[in-house]
Amino acid sequence: MIKTISVLLATAIAACALSNPTSAHQTDTRRALSTDQRKLFVTNAKHALGECTNTEPMRKLQERAVVRRAEAIENLRRERRQRRLDVDTVVATSHESSLTGVTADTSSSVLFGDEVACVLEPEVTYGPYYVLGEYIRSDMREDQPGVDMYIDVQVIDVSSCEPVTDMYVDFWHANATGVYSGVEADGNGDSSDTTNLDKTFLRGVTPTDDDGVAQMISIFPGHYVERATHLHFIGNYNGTVLENGTYSGGSVAHVGQFFFDQDLITSVNEQDTYVTNTQEITLNADDMWLQAAAADEYDPIMEYALLGDSVADGLFVWISLAVDMTAAQEVEEAATLTADGGVISSNSVIGGGAGGSGNFGGSMGSGNFAGSVGSPQ
């Protein structure tokens, strides 16, 4: 209570000083107060506040405080309502495409149409399992079992609404049982398996083409505790492609995550390999990072088409996003892939101690999946 009165007294004196300029130059004397002195101080403070309340500066100060707090409350309520509305709308919307005959060779112009979406995707955490120095390649499945997934992401410059070319995109996600390669961490599979640090499955880097499209072959991600099923994305630019097939340096323009329809996740989780994942499922509606990504007018859930009669035959997934190419995001890697294997980063907060197959021929510009697997940095 004394602390509150002290703050109020300081405010009152500041307000009164506006009507009495000489008070602003009075000497500030600081000393310890006895119990009796504190009581007298509080009594005098109440008296001072009572006298100051009716001054014009104090009334204006109070009026501004009322307006400011009311506006802040309303803005916060509106933001929370909008965020909830955005998430509810996104989660309730089916993202299964009505396109027919979609294959791994389907042109990007067919997927994205004539109207280029130019809505800035919010920056979302890169999480604790980002690994630096991954292969430049078009297929990051390696030997991981699961539902094949062909990823097609179009990147647009928000300032010009033109495609972003030569952005080197990092993709990574958990395997069917909810485990990330390249790291050692409690809760990430068998934390005693030190060989996981050297593994590279379901991680890859690929450049965007003339249409701003980055393509990658993977499997549908698995889930793990406290997170809905998702795919990580980092957009790098102005770096260097090294002779060993990796990417170095440059800046990070965007950090994001993509999500999937809940019905699609449920269908995939019923398939072989995924049924062995016993980790608790977090629904899209309950994922904090999906809520962060589902900003006004931006939908972070990928559209998709089945490549056969069921999800077991594979999926084609795609999304378009706009990024701010003037941005330079800061990311900290959990580990770095080197020629000698994985090395845990000194900045890592988690602690702990070969090429893919099935590439599709064709040019990237035509929307076909192609590329080669590099060697570790």
Domain residue ranges in the chain: 1-92, 98-366
Torsional sign, CA 286, 228, 136, 138:
negative
pLDDT digits (tens, 9 = 90+) for 227-277: 999 999 999 999 999 888 989 888 999 999 999 999 999 999 999 999 999
Residues 25, 26, 30: CA angle, nearest 5 degrees: 130
pLDDT digits (tens, 9 = 90+) for 200-238: 999 999 999 988 889 999 999 999 999 999 999 999 999
- Give the mean model confidence (pLDDT) for residues 179-194: 86
Pick the range with the lowest mean pLDDT from 276-290, 325-339, 342-356, 363-377.
363-377
pLDDT digits (tens, 9 = 90+) for 285-334: 999 888 887 866 678 899 888 888 889 988 888 888 888 899 888 888 98
Assigned fold of 98-366 = Protocatechuate 3,4-Dioxygenase, subunit A (2.60.130)
Which tokens hold the place of 220? 């549908």
pLDDT digits (tens, 9 = 90+) for 338-351: 888 898 887 655 54
The Cα 114–Cα 350 span in angstroms is: 44
pLDDT of residue 128: 86
Closest CA to 179 of 220, 219, 223: 223
